[in-house]
Amino acid sequence: MLPIRLTCCFAVVMTAVCLAQAPRPDLVAQVRARTLAEAHASWWGFDREDSTDALQTAIDSGVPTLIIDKMPSPWIVRPLFLASNQTIIFQEGAVLEAKRGDFLGIRDALLKAEEQSNITITALGKGALLRMHIADYQAEPYQKAEWRHGISLLSVSKVAISNLTIADSGGDGIYLGTKTRGKFNTDVTIKNVVCVNNNRQGISVINAVNLLIEDCVLKDTAGTPPKAGIDFEPNHFSERIENCVLRNVIASNNAGGGFIVSLHQHRAQTPPVSVRFENCRSVNDRSNGFIVIAQNSPGQSVTGTVEIINCTVENAAGPGLAVAGNAANSGLKILVKDSRFINCADNDDHNAAPIVFRNKGEEPAEPLGGLRVSNLEIVESRSRPPIALHEHSPTPSGLAKVYGELTLHRNGQKSTIALNDEWVKTNFPVRTFRSVPRVMPKLTRLAPAKEVINYQGTAVTLPAVKVRNNAVYYIHAKTGQTITFTVHLGLVPRARTPNVPCILRTPSGDALELGQLAADADQAFTVAKAPETGIYTLEFPDLKRNYTILKASNRPAALLAPERGLNFFCTNQSFQIFAPANSNAFALKFWGAGQEGVKITLREPDGNDVWTQDNIFAAEQFDATDAQAKAGGLWTVIPQKPSSGVLEDYYMQIFGVPPLIVLWPADALPSKP
């Protein structure tokens, strides 16, 4: 028997508001018998305190069309799970609300679909509201998290969402993620949806093939970074972003950017990306209007296109467009056409510009770039270059393949700039530095000053040098000596809480596992008797971007500056570097990260300040004279807050002398003569 549509109930949906009522088991029975193709959620009951069981049972009934009635009060629910082959229609003004005190799981979502297909969620008239409680999730008893989404779609297909407002989630308004690797979200449409006051993003897209987002508003995101209107951000190189179109979408007043395409996990083997923004607007977003992030490592550049067509960015706190890490020759092709950037990055930062290219700190494989503009208008009152290049890596790569024409409107004056190879070469010459080899003596060639080899006192307080990522320290001890040291593990916002072992390797390479580091605490470790004489290596693997401080040691200690550079974190503590006499050359290179930089003063062994450089964001290098290198001695590095930007992450490389920061004593580990 074919299903019979209950026309009288459909009329109720269109014209009336259903009041609270007792369950209708007679009608539910007809749904179970498959004689009705349409049903009201209220037939399964309504409880103004908690309607989860009734509503979940209605969803699980398999009815092709489920109508969520507008009740006198919201539908209060715990997490709900969607079903395949179902259309859910909210009556105009209906409210689906997260139950307070629930959603304790860090991935609990108001509505979740996992590998389902053929789902429609919509509302009649002026729409319906899906509401969570963002402030609740930021305090006890909730575990801090960024995944309590309004609607979570994991590896789904043929899903349509429309005519809803999604507010106050503990994560994203809508999340398109992965349930099973290799299964992508396909053929998803989101239309006429407002995402407001969500914690992380209005919408996050981890993977999607054939995605249309149209006539939506993504606003007032605030809480956990990136805090954007929308963020395309795959978690793995296999996750695809293909044929994704945003049309008539407004991102406004977000604490982060408006539109983000973050492909830092994508690699050359990832299928080409295709994202197109049509007639979209970023208004009053407190970071970039658009940002495109890609990979610029040798042989690893992601390919594809990002198109920004007939779009406007107005009053963004950052650039209208920021491009990070995109390889000019082998990376993405970015097109900006028929668009306007109005009063973007309107501040006194000397690095600010309407368009910014920057690398991400890695050694770039090739120049940044890959942008073509056509009929782009930049409207602003400031006189400055329209494009800026921020190179936050030890090896500047320059800019290339930036083509097209842009028009500047400044204080009633109009001018046009033709972007071509000659313009790029003139405005962004590639910086070069003197080449000084890295010197890394064998550990057997390192030893402390004789007067401290037999030191018997208590642990000495060391300079508070904060180091992120996998810090490596050297400690010298003789056979039978006690080794005592204190370590502080500091947690950085957004970094995961690590499970970090404290490993001390003997001179012969054996690992002494001394226990786990306690987070945000000082922790003392002791080896009662050193098993052999020489350099012990203290390692803290898998810090997950948190930081360590070696606060005290009773044995001579030093900090290794790795080849890729030592990552300091908020360090304004002076430290010292020992240059052996008769060194052939000596150089120090410093650089920052984004708006994070440093001011550096170098003091030579006789106490004179010989080099000061403020606002180090791009790489700067100090080269000692031949006489200074030959003289050797203990050099002092004095880091300070830059006059522009913030003091947070900055980096240092050491060339020509042992790449060690001396912690104690002053000449802790010079090379043996």
How far is CA 140 from its chain centroid?
25
Mean pLDDT, the chain, rounded, equals 91
Q: Are residues 299 and 378 both part of a single domain?
A: yes
388-441 pLDDT tens trace:
998 888 888 899 999 999 999 999 899 999 999 999 999 999 888 999 999 887
Q: Tell me if residue 31 falls in helix, strand or coil.
A: helix
23-36 pLDDT tens trace:
999 999 999 999 99
Q: Are residues 323 and 462 both part of a single domain?
A: no
Query: How large is the average pLDDT for residues 104-121?
Result: 98
Query: How large is the average pLDDT for residues 604-624?
Result: 94
251: in domain:
no
Q: Are residues 460 and 380 both part of a single domain?
A: no
> Cβ atoms within 10 A of the Cβ of 517, count?
20
Query: Dihedral of the CA atoms 623, 625, 628, 631 (nearest 10)?
Result: 120
pLDDT at residue 14, as a whole number: 41
Of the residues 388, 413, 432, which one is the last residue of a structural domain?
432
Q: Are residues 388 and 488 both part of a single domain?
A: no
Query: How large is the average pLDDT for residues 352-374?
Result: 87
Of the residues 381, 409, 432, which one is the last residue of a structural domain?
432
Provide the β-strand partners of residue 526.
Answer: 484
Number of folded domains in the chain?
4
**Of all residues in the chain, what percent carry a pLDDT higher than 70?**
93
pLDDT at residue 6, as a whole number: 38
Query: Dihedral of the CA atoms 591, 593, 596, 598 (nearest 10)?
Result: -10
Q: Are residues 483 and 378 both part of a single domain?
A: no
Q: Is the pLDDT of residue 666 over 70?
A: no
Range of 177's domain? 78-231
Helices (H) then strands (E): counts for the chain: 6, 51
Q: Are residues 273 and 392 both part of a single domain?
A: yes
295-340 pLDDT tens trace:
877 778 899 999 999 999 999 999 999 999 999 988 999 999 999 9
Q: Is the pLDDT of residue 10 over 50?
A: no
CATH of the domain at 584: 2.60.120.380
pLDDT at residue 363, as a whole number: 67
294: in domain:
yes
Q: Is the pLDDT of residue 257 over 80?
A: yes
For the chain, the C-alpha Rg in angstroms (whole number) is 30
Q: Is the pLDDT of residue 113 over 70?
A: yes
pLDDT at residue 11, as a whole number: 39
Listing DSSP states for 584-605 in one string gives S--EEEEEEBTTB-EEEEEE-T
Q: Are residues 380 and 494 both part of a single domain?
A: no
Q: Are residues 144 and 262 both part of a single domain?
A: no
Query: How large is the average pLDDT for residues 360-373?
Result: 83
Q: Is the pLDDT of residue 153 over 90?
A: yes
* Sheet strands (E) in 227-367: 228-232, 241-247, 250-252, 259-262, 273-278, 281-283, 290-293, 304-309, 312-314, 321-324, 333-342, 355-358
392: in domain:
yes
Q: Are residues 225 and 364 both part of a single domain?
A: no
Q: Are residues 17 and 36 both part of a single domain?
A: yes
Task: Tell me the helix, strand and coil percentages in the chain, rounded to 5.
Answer: 10, 45, 50
23-82 pLDDT tens trace:
999 999 999 999 999 999 999 999 999 999 999 999 999 999 999 999 999 999 999 999
Cβ(476)–Cβ(668) under 8 Å?
Answer: yes
pLDDT at residue 418, as a whole number: 97
Query: How large is the average pLDDT for residues 635-658?
Result: 93
**Distance of alpha carbon 390 from alpha carbon 396, whole angstroms:** 9
- The 472-477 sheet, strands edge to edge: 511-516, 501-505, 534-539, 472-477, 557-560, 660-664, 575-579, 633-640, 598-603, 609-616
Q: Give Cα separations from 671 to 371, 442, 519, 632 (angstroms).
A: 50, 9, 35, 12
70: in domain:
no
Of the residues 231, 249, 274, which one is the last residue of a structural domain?
231
**Of all residues in the chain, what percent carry a pLDDT higher than 90?**
77
248: in domain:
no
Provide the β-strand partners of residue 505.
Answer: 511, 537
pLDDT at residue 453, as a whole number: 74
544: in domain:
yes
pLDDT at residue 57, as a whole number: 98
- Cβ density class 312-323: b for 16+ within 10 Å, e for less: bbbbbbbbbbbb
Q: Is the pLDDT of residue 579 over 80?
A: yes
Q: Is the pLDDT of residue 15 over 90?
A: no
Q: Are residues 106 and 2 both part of a single domain?
A: no
242: in domain:
no
Query: How large is the average pLDDT for residues 449-466?
Result: 82
pLDDT at residue 471, as a whole number: 85
Band the pLDDT of 659: cuts 50, 70, 90: very high
Residue 484: half-sphere exposure toward Cβ, Cα within 13 Å: 11
450: in domain:
yes
231-256 pLDDT tens trace:
999 999 999 999 999 999 999 999 99
Cβ(89)–Cβ(67) under 8 Å?
Answer: yes
Q: Is the pLDDT of residue 511 over 90?
A: yes
Phi, psi torsion values for 194, nearest 5 degrees: -110, 120
Q: Are residues 53 and 115 both part of a single domain?
A: no
- Among 469-478, 550-559, 599-608, the range scoring the smallest mean pLDDT is 469-478
> Cβ atoms within 10 A of the Cβ of 210, count?
16
- For the chain, the residue count is 673
